[in-house]
Structure 1
Amino acid sequence: MYYQFGGRLPERYRDWVLHDATCRTWVLRVLIRGLIQIAPLGALLFVALGVLGGAWPIAAGALLLGLLVVARIVLTNSVDSVNSRLVDYGFPPGHGTAVRRQRDADAAERYEAVWRRPPE
């Protein structure tokens, strides 16, 4: 993507984007972001199918299937899209994945130290 800021986005959001891409709930955030982007079109189609077609259950089923397809596409591409977003903010490629992997390894070490130590 080309941005008016010389190819990179403003530095003031850099820390927030890194947090957003590596926090515990990053997958949920990506999913919600993707569903919000498709919500206006889904609502318009739901109303159009309901009003013009007259069959509300069919319109609701079509909307639900559409949301499931969008959710699958968003979740399938979530790692790549988040890593690409971090690259736009000046981080090296794969930085988000590396940070999440390190965080998970640290959590596993803490778990092992507390719960898997030999009995005294």
Structure 2
Amino acid sequence: MAVKRPNPLWWLWYAFGGKLPNRYREWVLHDATAPTWLVRHVLRRLVFMAPILSLLYLLLAVILGYDVTIVLLGLGLGIYAGVYYALIFSTHSVDTRVTRHGYPDDYASQVRRALKQAEREAKAAEYNRHWRQEGET
């Protein structure tokens, strides 16, 4: 059975920090443990920052008439800082998001570690099957 994905409005609510209904609980875990979980997290943060950055641009460049180059440089530094902090606190933020949807504390990190370990073991088994002779250690 496929995981039920939220529609775009629910996803926006989720990107802005809202809790999804229980029917999307498995999708939240998938979102937090997929191989692309970090990219997804950064994209959610960028979506969160977009309206704020747009309002700042409108205020500074359009209404107040500041130089567009200076405004864009400032907004670029804001994006840099936002992504920097999103990356620093990504594990904690994603684990908290998963906990809010009914999973135990640090469950997403545990699942990611288990998936990474299983992948490592599968690669080692494939390597050994291909390159090692029978009875060789």
TM-score, length-scaled by structure 1: 0.84
Listed as ranges, the gaps of 5+ residues in structure 2 are 1-18
Matched, 1:107 2:119: yes
- Taking only aligned residues, the RMSD between alpha carbons, in angstroms, comes to 1.8
Counting matched residue pairs gives 113
Matched, 1:41 2:52: yes
Q: Offset of 1:67 from its aligned partner?
A: 0.3
Aligned residue among 14, 30, 41 for 1:19: 30
Contact 1:83 1:94 in 2 (8 A): yes
Q: Offset of 1:38 from its aligned partner?
A: 1.2
Cα separation, 2, equivalents of 1:45 and 1:96: 35
Structure 1: 4+ residue segments shifted above 4 A:
none
Identity of aligned residues (%): 37
**Structure with greater contact order relative to length (CA < 8 Å, sep ≥ 6):** 1
Listed as ranges, the gaps of 5+ residues in structure 1 are 1-7
Cα separation, 2, equivalents of 1:24 and 1:115: 22
Aligned residue among 16, 30, 43 for 1:32: 43
